[in-house]
Amino acid sequence: MVKRLFAYIGQYKKYVISCIFLMTFDVLCEMMMPFLMAKIVDVGIPQKDIAFIARVGGLMIVLALAAIGFGVLNMRFSANASQGFAANIRRALFDKVQSFSFSNIDYFSTASLVTRLTNDVTQMQVMLLMSLRILLRAPLMLITACFFAMSINLKLSGIILIAMPVLVISIYFVIRSAEHLFSTMQQRLDSLNNTVRENLIAIRVVKAFVREEYEKLKFKKVNDAFTKAAINAGYLISLAMPVILFILNFTTIAVIWFGGKMVSTGTMGTGELIGFISYVMQILTSTMIFSMVFILYARAEASAQRIVEVLDAKVDIADKPALPEGGITPSVSSGKVEFRNVYFRYGNSVNSNGSANNNGFNNKMGKDVLSDITFNIESGEIVGIIGGTGSGKTSLISLIPRLYDVTAGQVLVDGTDVRDYNLKTLRDGIGIVLQTNVLFSGTIRENLLWGNENAAQEEIEEAARNAQAHDFIMSFPDGYDTILGQAGVNLSGGQKQRLCIARALLKKPYILILDDSTSSVDVATEAKIMESFNKNLKESTIIIISQRISSIKEADKIIVLDDGKISGIGTHEMLYESNTIYREIYDTQQGGLIL
């Protein structure tokens, strides 16, 4: 997975290549040092050649200065490369996520998508940065140090052949047990954090039920479990260091023993021995760092996998590759809607790619949410949809702008199957106000312009008036330029809903869908909104989901949903006569309210 992501280095490849060259030069400069030093000790000193010593010493200083240059440039380029790499991945992820269908969004939860775009990308960036700065150095050092060590004394280099495997095997065992211990530790850390988070969020519940002691006990358990795992992992690491030190030090002793003999027999110089020891240390250190590569990549692998999962996600709702026969792109022209024997269930297409579902379970999955839905809406009609919690109201309207695709049957807009439309064209023709009522940080105007970015002030105001939002907007000191969000004004639920309606109205849609969008708006204001719809949106088809019968009583047609099936269609009077569910809902709401 990590490998696959390397393709995203893209235009920053030049930095990566420069880094490799710079590092090679840097390592060569550094590796020359002990070699040159050996020359001073073995040639310069015995021959009492001060000029030679100064020349070699001068060369060493020049090399060190050059190495500073290479090193600094390497730092610059590695920073550029890794941040560029991260920026490219982030962008690819963001672009991909923008192409997601609603099913994709449901499948990856919001929180998990945010983590993938932030933490996981940072992991990849750190991985590349570390690779270019430290890890890539290891094999280069290993090779050059081996070369210099062997060129000093081939026979003595045999020691390396013994020491290296011992080191590699020890490290292998440490890593193998470490992976297990660290993943246990990570799991327990997650559950520790989860316990704290839940406690903080629900602190009122805790206090209301006097569960402080219970919570303390719960925390003590997860806290102790984590500490135990952390100590176990820490113990392993505390064992690793001395073992490695031990190997390194005993290799030194072996080199001195065998090298010492060679020095006294004259087959090796003292300086060469000192130099050789330096090289052996470099070799073993590099081997160790090199094995870190595997740990780092194993870590990065988990992040890479999560990133690739997003990049590879199959987007189940996309434009048809080619235009339908005849070659004309259909467009929404009047706002007729037809459902023909529609069946729908969640998650049948996206989850088939086999990866585990993050949600643990999804009780909506695998069950038909809508079954055998057939109805017809004429252009310009106002249609109400009513039904209990979970009866499938939202699912039903989601099929019209193709937020989800039907499982079976057909949804037609203006006589054309919604799947034959260009997605953008289809959604441009439909205005929908979702239940979530999300507004974005920025001014009220900026938010409304989402409906139509070229709208003039008069159009904006008209839409706001129709949604009964103009008056409260003007009551803010900054009017339409009032800033929303954390830095700005907090709106009440009803105000938010009206802004969302205005935003949808600005689209001047052929079909307007309101999903329980006036639940926090009072009855009188709601009535005014409906009135302006009747007056000013005669051309548009309007579909309204509501829990309040008062909102939809006047509709041309009311669809009563019950457990995913149509229980009745008709006007208020007809349904009140013939439909028991409708009558029951009406009666429970009617009792206290004079309407």
Partner 1 sequence: MEENKKVYGAGMRGGRGGGGRGVRSFEKPKNLWGTTAKTLKYLGKSKFLLIVVIICLLLSTITALAGSYFLKPLINNYIIPGDFKGLAVALLILGIIYMVGAGAAFLQSRFIVKVAQTTTNIIRRDLFDKLQGLELRYFDSHTHGELMSRFTNDVDNVQLMLESSLTQLISSVLTFIGTVTMMIILSPILFIITAIVLVIMVFISMKIASKSRYYFKNQQEILGELNGYIEESISGLKEIKVFNHEEHAKKAFNGINEKFRVTAANANFLAGVIMPIMGNLNNICYAATAVFGGILILMNRFDVGSLAAFLQYSRHIGQPINQITAQINNIMAGMAGAERIFEVMEQKPEVDNGNVTLVNACRTPDGSLKECEERTGLWAWKHPQSDGTVTYTELRGDVRFFDVNFEYEPGVPVLRNVSLYAKPGQKIAFVGSTGAGKTTITNLINRFYDVNEGRILYDGINIIEIKKADLRSSLAMVLQDTHLFTGTVIDNIRYGRLDATDEECINAAKIARADSFITRLPRGYHTVIRGDGGNLSQGERQLIAIARAAVASPPVMILDEATSSIDTHTERLIEKGMDALMAGRTVFVIAHRLSTVRNANAIIVIEHGQIIERGDHEELLALKGRYYQLCTGQIELE
Q: Does 90 bind partner 1 (CB under 8 A)?
A: yes
Instruction: Specify the residue, 1 or 277, whose C-beta has the smaller distance to partner 1.
Output: 277
Question: Closest separation between CB of residue 447 and partner 1, Å?
Answer: 10
For residue 386, with 0-12 CB atoms within 10 Å meaning exposed, 13-18 middle and 19 or more buried, which class applies?
buried
Q: Which two tokens stand for residue 344?
A: 């729908």
Among 21, 169, 187, 260, binds partner 1 (CB under 8 A): 260
Among 24, 177, 184, 362, binds partner 1 (CB under 8 A): 362
Among 117, 136, 159, 537, binds partner 1 (CB under 8 A): 117
Q: Give the helix/strand (H/E) hosting 417.
A: strand 416-417
What number of chain residues touch partner 1 (CB under 8 A)? Answer: 184
Residue 342, beta-bridge partner list: 373
Q: Which of residues 340-359 bind partner 1 (CB under 8 A)?
A: 359
Q: Does 331 bind partner 1 (CB under 8 A)?
A: no
Q: Does 315 bind partner 1 (CB under 8 A)?
A: no
Q: Which two tokens stand for residue 232?
A: 């176990």
Q: Which two tokens stand for residue 562?
A: 């019950």
Mask for 203-242, x = binds partner 1 (CB under 8 A) = xxxxxxxxxx-xxx--xx--xx-xx--xx--xx-xxxxxx
Instruction: Give which of 508, 518, 577 is closest to 538, Cα–Cα.
Output: 508
Question: Closest separation between CB of residue 25 and partner 1, Å?
Answer: 12
Choices 33-41, 318-326, 412-420, 568-576 (CB under 8 A): range interacting with partner 1: 33-41
Choices 3-11, 260-268, 306-314, 329-337 (CB under 8 A): range interacting with partner 1: 260-268
Among 150, 244, 308, 408, binds partner 1 (CB under 8 A): 244
Which residues have C-beta within 8 Å of that of residue 395, sequence separation ≥ 6?
344, 346, 369, 370, 404, 564
Among 95, 312, 531, 539, binds partner 1 (CB under 8 A): 95
| Residue 377: Cβ within 10 Å count | 22
Among 37, 385, 400, 460, binds partner 1 (CB under 8 A): 37
Instruction: Specify the residue, 254 or 412, whose C-beta has the smaller distance to partner 1.
Output: 254
Instruction: Specify the residue, 177 or 410, whose C-beta has the smaller distance to partner 1.
Output: 177
Instruction: Specify the residue, 99 or 374, whose C-beta has the smaller distance to partner 1.
Output: 99
- State how far the Cα of 7 lies from the Cα of 89, in Å rounded to an integer: 9
Instruction: Specify the residue, 181 or 382, whose C-beta has the smaller distance to partner 1.
Output: 181
Q: Does 249 bind partner 1 (CB under 8 A)?
A: yes
Q: Give residue 181's identity as a one-letter amino acid code.
A: L
- State how far the Cα of 567 lies from the Cα of 387, in Å rounded to an integer: 9
Instruction: Specify the residue, 1 or 53, whose C-beta has the smaller distance to partner 1.
Output: 53
Mask for 457-496, x = binds partner 1 (CB under 8 A) = -----------------------------------xxxx-
Give, in degrees to the nearest 5, the angle at Cα 374 between 372 and 380.
Answer: 150
Instruction: Specify the residue, 81 or 555, whose C-beta has the smaller distance to partner 1.
Output: 81
3-class DSSP assignment, residue 107: helix
Instruction: Specify the residue, 194 or 376, whose C-beta has the smaller distance to partner 1.
Output: 194
Question: Closest separation between CB of residue 531 and partner 1, Å?
Answer: 13
Q: What is the DSSP string of 293-322?
A: HHHHHHHHHHHHHHHHHHHH---S----SS
Main-chain dihedrals φ then ψ at residue 136, nearest 5 degrees: -65, -30
Token look-up 């729908």 returns: 344
* Pairing outcome for strands 382-387 and 557-562: parallel
Alpha-helical segments (H) within 132-269: 137-152, 158-201, 203-208, 212-265
Q: Which of residues 571-590 bind partner 1 (CB under 8 A)?
A: 584-585, 588-589
Q: Which two tokens stand for residue 375?
A: 């109805």
Among 159, 185, 511, 545, binds partner 1 (CB under 8 A): 185
Question: Closest separation between CB of residue 273 and partner 1, Å?
Answer: 7
- State how far the Cα of 463 lies from the Cα of 499, in Å rounded to an integer: 9
Choices 57-65, 143-151, 327-335, 405-413 (CB under 8 A): range interacting with partner 1: 57-65
- State how far the Cα of 45 lies from the Cα of 54, in Å rounded to an integer: 11
Instruction: Specify the residue, 45 or 408, whose C-beta has the smaller distance to partner 1.
Output: 45
Q: Does 363 bind partner 1 (CB under 8 A)?
A: yes
Instruction: Specify the residue, 363 or 457, whose C-beta has the smaller distance to partner 1.
Output: 363
Choices 147-155, 252-260, 341-349, 572-580 (CB under 8 A): range interacting with partner 1: 252-260
Instruction: Specify the residue, 6 or 378, whose C-beta has the smaller distance to partner 1.
Output: 6
Q: Which of residues 65-84 bind partner 1 (CB under 8 A)?
A: 65, 67-68, 70-72, 74-76, 78-80, 82-84
Start-to-end CA span in the chain (Å)? 63
Main-chain dihedrals φ then ψ at residue 290, nearest 5 degrees: -60, -40
Instruction: Specify the residue, 378 or 450, whose C-beta has the smaller distance to partner 1.
Output: 450
Question: Closest separation between CB of residue 341 and partner 1, Å?
Answer: 25
Instruction: Give which of 351, 380, 345 is closest to 366, Cα–Cα.
Output: 345
- State how far the Cα of 110 lies from the Cα of 487, in Å rounded to an integer: 22
- State how far the Cα of 384 lies from the Cα of 377, in Å rounded to an integer: 11
Q: Does 374 bind partner 1 (CB under 8 A)?
A: no
| Torsion region of 556: left, alpha or beta (phi above 0 gives left; psi -120 to 50 gives alpha) | alpha
Q: Which of residues 397-436 bind partner 1 (CB under 8 A)?
A: 401, 403, 424, 427-428, 432, 434, 436
Q: Which of residues 523-542 bind partner 1 (CB under 8 A)?
A: 523-527
Taking each helix axis as running N to C, give the angle between helix 158-201 and helix 270-312, from 0 to 180 degrees, rounded to the nearest 10. Answer: 40
Strand-by-strand arrangement of the 416-417 sheet: 370-377, 337-344, 408-413, 416-417
Compute the radius of gyration of the chain from its Cα atoms. Answer: 35
- State how far the Cα of 587 lies from the Cα of 595, in Å rounded to an integer: 13
Q: Which of residues 141-180 bind partner 1 (CB under 8 A)?
A: 178
Question: Closest separation between CB of residue 33 and partner 1, Å?
Answer: 6
Instruction: Specify the residue, 466 or 546, whose C-beta has the smaller distance to partner 1.
Output: 546
Choices 32-40, 143-151, 404-412, 537-545 (CB under 8 A): range interacting with partner 1: 32-40
Question: Closest separation between CB of residue 121 and partner 1, Å?
Answer: 10
Find out whether 142 and 283 touch, Cβ atoms under 8 Å: yes
Find out whether 423 and 318 touch, Cβ atoms under 8 Å: yes
